Amino acid sequence: MRKFVFVTGGVMSGIGKGITTASLAMLLSRIGYSVTIIKIDPYLNVDAGTMNPYMHGEVFVTEDGGETDLDLGHYERFLHKSLNRYNNITTGKIYGSVIEKERKGEYLGQTVQIIPHITDEIKNRILEVSNNDGSDITFIEIGGTVGDIESLPFLEAARQMMIDYGKENVSYVHTAYLPVLQTTGEIKTKPLQHSVNELRR
């Protein structure tokens, strides 16, 4: 049975989720597991190709010509492995696919909703990448910060994956910022506690 590891971030962005994900994947690959990584970007753009690089960062172009998030470059360097456009999932791709299926009548007249249609599409995309790669372990980094409204369908899909595949096959890593007060040198954990509470809703 394949394993899935979801990596989320809390409190603030830019704390190194991508490097954390790539590092964990590299360590497991070094002890003999085959590993792949998926980056989920919860923005409505279809890909990073038309996004302002000053706001989003540089575009990483995969071997198959996919214009993807910069984190895929880190993943490739850490794993010494080429990834493709399917390793980058965006809200734009998910919604586009679901709307296209609805127009073709694939939902047989159902009311198309976030749950189950969007979450099922997210899970199907993750499984497709994992199956095509044939990896033992698939890491899934969910971009943004817990509490962002855009991330909710992806967090729900991650929650459902444990129900679908069991807790022995799905795990979660939450990375967060722990501020240290300069005056006392004390680490404050309250922001992290709020972040975890938000994740557990």
Rounded to a whole number of angstroms, the distance between the first and last alpha carbons of the chain is: 28
Residue type, 99: I
Structurally, the chain folds into a number of domains equal to 1
- Asked if residues 92 and 42 have their Cβ atoms less than 8 Å apart, the reply is no
Question: What's the pLDDT at 65?
Answer: 93
Point out which residues pair with 60 in neighbouring strands. 68
Q: What is the CATH number of the domain that holds 177?
A: 3.40.50.300
SS3 call for 172? strand
Question: What's the pLDDT at 14?
Answer: 83
pTM for the predicted model, two decimal places: 0.93
The pLDDT tens digits along the chain (201 residues) read: 899 999 999 888 888 899 999 999 999 999 999 999 999 999 998 888 888 887 778 899 999 999 998 999 999 999 999 999 999 999 999 999 999 999 999 999 999 999 999 999 999 999 999 999 999 999 999 998 998 899 999 999 999 999 999 999 999 999 999 999 999 989 999 988 988 988 887
Point out which residues pair with 26 in neighbouring strands. none
Parent domain of 160: 3-199
